[in-house]
Amino acid sequence: MSEQIGELLPPPRLMLTPGPSCVDPRVYRALATPLVGHLDPWFTTMMDDVQVLLRRVFRTENRLTFPISASGSGGIEAAVVNPLEEGDEAIVCINGWFSERMAIIAERTAAKVHRIEAPYGRPVDPEDVRRVGRGKKVKFVGLAHGETSTGVIQRLDDYRKVADELGALLVVDAVATLAGVPLDVDRQRIDICFSGAQKAISAPPGTAPITVNARTEEVLRGRKSKVQSWYFDLTTTMNYWGKERTYHHTPPVSLIFALREALRLVLEEGLEARWERHRHNQQALVAGLEAMGLEFFVPNPADRLITVTAVRVPKGIEDLKVRRQLLDEFNIEIAGGFGPIKGQIWRVGLMGFSSQFNNVLLFLAAFEKVLLDQGFHVSAGAGVAAAVRASLKPQSVAIGERK
């Protein structure tokens, strides 16, 4: 009966996408560690470790810091449906697919949602937020720190300032930035911040770390109605991840094992060293792509996300053919564009375990071969040469150099 469906034999891919990233062997080992029960006293004590590690990575003292049992999009839902209820007004800054997702989810609550849009490839102007919010009782200002779909980073301090003026919570999607790009939840006074495990943390997908400060806890306690999602209700989930460890739902034990190990790796490397590694490898990538004659999707270099680099698909070249050949010939996966920019951009992710100088060199060499095959002229070796030059000072940082 099941004869047709054989052994699991996936190809050995190098994932240079905006997630999932490649995963350190130590994390796979943790992932495959035989399970214990989610109410086992050993497990409920081990949950403390995960919370301590997450607080260090988020740079926060927030009590309510834990991994949600869902993908990063589940993180968005939790961040949105918990604070918002009938009578509230929310501002969502939209400059791509994932920040728009935040608005779409907010619009499924009873709150009134104001969309503030920027063209894809640019940050949202904080002045627009100020203008729209003026005179309104805004409870929530939401945005993506790094917009994965376009490769744009936004300067959180500017939005924090406006949110302060409006008296609003600042809600930040750090799915593409946490552990890859400087972020300091407490110093930057982010009220709700969430991420995904499968990006710069480089754990397998399926958990979404979130942290919520005391001010937000107060807001949650003051809700007049029940949170519309039972699964993502922080007011009850926090009893399981809080001191009480009261059963809520069965968490993905194996993924939490893996997340714990991935967080240990982040802290063994050190957050600053990790940010620097991401910056360094991305600069080499950018130098290589530029030397190959490719055009960046984000016009202003200061707006470019370190973890995801978007380049335009050159005229006359077919997006899918290039990506397919990279996969088939080199087992390298990069991503395309979503929605309105589908077919127009490629996105190269260098996050966590995937952010290695070795990968940059291999990718540029393979990409050159594929682009030549597909009819785009690249001068031989230009990308790799430029990446090597860009990496000369300071020295490149090899992964695995752990103390």
Q: Which of residues 228-267 bind a second copy (CB under 8 A)?
A: 228-232, 247-255, 257-258, 260-261, 264, 267
The tally of CA atoms less than 13 A away on the side-chain side of residue 222 is 10
Q: Count the residues of the shown chain that bind a second copy, applying the rule CB under 8 A.
A: 84
Nearer to a second copy, 119 or 339 (CB): 339
Q: Does 332 bind a second copy (CB under 8 A)?
A: no
Question: Which is it for the CA torsion 132, 308, 101, 80, positive or negative?
Answer: negative
Q: Among the candidate windows 73-81, 120-128, 165-173, 385-393, which touches a second copy by CB under 8 A?
A: 73-81
Residue 217, Cα to own-chain centre: how many angstroms? 24
- Shortest Å, Cβ 33 to a second copy: 6
Q: Among the candidate windows 72-80, 135-143, 213-221, 388-396, which touches a second copy by CB under 8 A?
A: 72-80
Q: What is the enclosing helix (H) or strand (E) of 131?
A: helix 126-133
Beta carbons within 8 Å of 161's beta carbon, 6+ residues apart = 126
- Among the listed residues 21, 296, 302, the one whose alpha carbon sits nearest the alpha carbon of residue 175: 21
- Shortest Å, Cβ 39 to a second copy: 7
* Collapsed DSSP state (helix, strand, coil) of residue 116: strand
**In angstroms, what is the C-alpha Rg of the chain?**
21
- Shortest Å, Cβ 12 to a second copy: 6
Site string for a second copy, 119-158 (x = CB under 8 A): ----------------------------------------
Cα–Cα distance measured from residue 102 to residue 110, given in angstroms and rounded to the nearest whole number? 14
Q: Does 28 bind a second copy (CB under 8 A)?
A: yes
- Residue with tokens 């905006």, as numbered in its chain: 18
Report 159-178 residues binding a second copy (CB under 8 A): none
Q: Does 374 bind a second copy (CB under 8 A)?
A: no
Report 88-107 residues binding a second copy (CB under 8 A): 101, 104-105, 107
- Shortest Å, Cβ 373 to a second copy: 19
- Shortest Å, Cβ 309 to a second copy: 17
Nearer to a second copy, 43 or 330 (CB): 43
Q: Does 400 bind a second copy (CB under 8 A)?
A: no
β-bridge pairing 89-94 and 138-144: parallel
Q: Does 13 bind a second copy (CB under 8 A)?
A: yes
Q: Does 53 bind a second copy (CB under 8 A)?
A: yes
* Collapsed DSSP state (helix, strand, coil) of residue 395: coil
* 60, 62, 65, 69: which one binds a second copy (CB under 8 A): 69
Q: Please, where are the H alpha helices in 208-308? A: 214-221, 234-241, 253-269, 271-291
Q: What is the enclosing helix (H) or strand (E) of 108?
A: none
Q: Does 45 bind a second copy (CB under 8 A)?
A: no
Beta carbons within 8 Å of 301's beta carbon, 6+ residues apart = none
Beta carbons within 8 Å of 351's beta carbon, 6+ residues apart = 18, 19, 21, 176, 180, 199, 200, 202, 278, 307, 308
Report 193-222 residues binding a second copy (CB under 8 A): 196, 198, 204-206
Nearer to a second copy, 145 or 160 (CB): 145
Q: Does 270 bind a second copy (CB under 8 A)?
A: yes
